[in-house]
Every structure is written in structure tokens, then in C-alpha cells.
Amino acid sequence: GLTIKSEKSLSAVAFLSLSYIAVFAVVVVGLAFHTSPPPNAEPLTMWDPSKALLSLPVICFGFTSHVVLLPTMRNMHNPTPTRLRAAVRLSLLISGVCYAAVGVCGYLAFRERTAGDLLRNFGGKNAHGMVMYCFKE
């Protein structure tokens, strides 16, 4: 298994990854408000119940935080079940808000061309495509 030698290095990597996620969310939200719909665009359909089952696996596996419960409790000051529940609820709330913001704004930006993996809409299979898309005029 993976052995963490330093919790400081783990927190630095976690902060870096959360920073990248925040930048991506800001870019997608900016695109949603910056781009205008094409003239022949169909009206927005924000909820299509016939496709709800396609989203269920993404939603279920997007919130798999149970693997970090024990390390989180071990690193808490004065760990109690009540404080752990509060931390889990807060982290799930923040994750849910980020998922919803990126999903809705990604749909507003790309409309019917929205890919299941939103990164594919940025014109590349790697980070270079996303960077080029963000800086093109």
C-alpha cells in the first residue's frame, strides 16, 4: 500500500490539487458567462429525467471519501464522532457545490456539444489543449 511519510507533504499535494480544481472551475464558470449561444441554438434543457441514470454512477463514485475517514480522524485535534461528521458534511457540501457549478456552467458554455468529460471540450487530450483554449482570442 501507499505509505505517507510526511503529513505536511500530503497536505501540500492536496492543496495543489485543490488549487488546480479551483482554477478549472473558475475557467468553466467564466466561459459560461463569456460565450454567447450560437444563433441556431436550441433552448436550454437543464434537466432531462430520461438521462438521470447515466449520471448516477458519476455522482456515486465522485463522492467516495470513506477511504480517508480514519486518517482524517487521526489527524484531528480532539477527535470526536461529532466533529468528524461535521468535517465530512462540510467536505461533501463543498464537493457538491463544485460539481454542480462546473456541470451547470459547462453545459451553459458548450450546450449540446458538452462532453461527458468536460476536459474534452477544451480541444485537446492533454493540458496543452486546455491552456491553448483558455488563452485564445
Instruction: Give me 90's grid cell.
Output: 462540510
Percent above pLDDT 70 for the chain: 77
| Burial (CB count <10 Å: 0-12, 13-18, 19+), residue 109 | buried
Highest mean pLDDT among 5-9, 18-22, 37-41, 129-133: 18-22
Distance CA 64, CA 67 (A): 7
Contact present, 95 and 102 (Cβ < 8 Å): no
* Length of the chain in terms of residues written: 137
Q: SS3 for 51-72, per residue?
A: HHHHHHHHHHHHCCCHHHHHHH
Tens digits of residue pLDDT in 21-53 = 888 888 888 887 877 777 777 777 767 777 777
**Higher-confidence residue: 99 or 66?**
99
CA distance 65 to 23: 22
Domain spans of the chain, in order of start: 9-37+69-135
Residue 75: per-residue pLDDT: 80
Query: 26-40, 50-64, 77-91: which has the minimum mean pLDDT?
Result: 50-64
